[in-house]
Amino acid sequence: MSPTKTSLSNLIVANGEPLIWGQRTYVMGIINVTPDSFSGDGLGRNVPAIVEQALRFQDQGADFLDVGAESTRPEHEPVSAEEELGRLIPALEAIAARVRLPISVDTCKSPVARQALAAGATIINDIWGLKADPILAEVAAESGAPLILMHNQKTRQYQDLLPDIIASLRHSAQQALQAGVRQENIILDPGFGFGKTPAHNLEVLHRLSEFKDLEYPLLLGTSRKSTIGLVLDLPVEERSEGTAATVALSIAGGADIVRVHDVKAMVRVCRMTDAIVRGWRPRSWSQ
């Protein structure tokens, strides 16, 4: 299978709807095909379980699936491209054969992204915002795949938190544009939980509306993160309510996509928040 030209503007998401920014918040369901996920939901190479989860997320209202084969938890052990592909490709091929939703591949390696697109992925999600492998932008440009660029850095030191993050994201977006990625195919992610202290994470969420000045769609991934655990003093499996609060506040701050583990519950949080913040109404609405 060869990758097909696509763009966010022509993607079909949940319930056969075309993607239209600003109409409602889109939900990205996380599928970890790793043995060492921080959230305890890693499925490893269990392809039947992976497909079952993908189908469940589709039924629960997810708009995208994000499939990753290398853990990004703190102090994780990096894996080679070969190991990542060995986990990823069977999962992607199986999901793509059964699920109607757009599939994002969570990788920072251009060879992995290239093969993932050939196996059925249609979006690239780079947690290093082209800092680890700038060639990812060329892969996205050549294939026409939308590209998610996340802010990340190796230290937690900033001169001025929000301006520094915004400048870094602007630079990543400019790199992508120079490589030939279409502007409408770029999504930015402030990187909640990456290269930031818990206090930084809370400030990013509190000031999320400032990122709209970048004029790109925003993705937020707060689900089950350690900052929630620290605030509530709860283990990872008990952070659903804390995640719900961050999802609702992300939407109020301007997030267009939320990346979550608990799809069913967070779709409900999004719809209720959208009804208040975006003026979204269900099809059955009669008043």
Q: Which residues are catalytic?
A: 225, 259
H/E element holding 201? helix 198-206
H/E element holding 162? helix 161-179
Cα–Cα distance for residue pair 194/72, rounded to 1 Å? 9
| Amino acid letter, 13 | V
Cα–Cα distance for residue pair 134/39, rounded to 1 Å? 29
Cα–Cα distance for residue pair 118/85, rounded to 1 Å? 12
Q: What DSSP assignment string belongs to 19-84?
A: P-TTTS-EEEEEEE-SS--TTS---TT-HHHHHHHHHHHHHTT-SEEEEESS--STTPPP--HHHH
Cα–Cα distance for residue pair 261/249, rounded to 1 Å? 17
Backbone angles phi, psi at 65, to 5 degrees: -120, 140
